[in-house]
Amino acid sequence: MHDIDAMLDALRDEALPSRLSAIDGAVFDGLTARRERQFSRHGMVLAIVVAGFLGLSVGIGSGSPASAERLLGTPTFAPSHLLADG
C-alpha cells in the first residue's frame, strides 16, 4: 500500500503533458456542436407535430363533404371543360 501512495505522490508532482492543455477547446466545441444538433432536431420534431395536428384538425373538423370529381380528371374550371359543357 505504501508503494501505491509513493507512486501517486510522484505522479502528483509531475507536470501535465502539453497536449492536455489544448484539449479543452476541442471538448467544448464538440459539446456545442452536439447541443446545436439536438436543438435543431427538437425544433424539427416540434414543427412536424404542429403541422400534423393542424392538418388533422382542419381536415377532420372542416365538415365539408368529399368532392365527387375524379382526382386526376379535367378540373371543373379548365377552359376545355367549360367549352365542352357550353
Beta carbons of 67 and 61 less than 8 angstroms apart = no
- For residues 16 and 20, give the distance between their C-alpha atoms in angstroms, rounded to a whole number: 7
Mean pLDDT of 59-78: 62
- For residues 51 and 45, give the distance between their C-alpha atoms in angstroms, rounded to a whole number: 10
What are the b/e assignments for 20-56, b being 16+ CB within 10 Å?
Answer: eeeeeeeeeeeeeeeeeeeeeeeeeeeeeeeeeeeee
Position 56 scores a pLDDT of: 85
One-letter amino acid of 7? M
Query: Which one is predicted more confidently, 66 or 41?
Result: 41
Position 59 scores a pLDDT of: 75
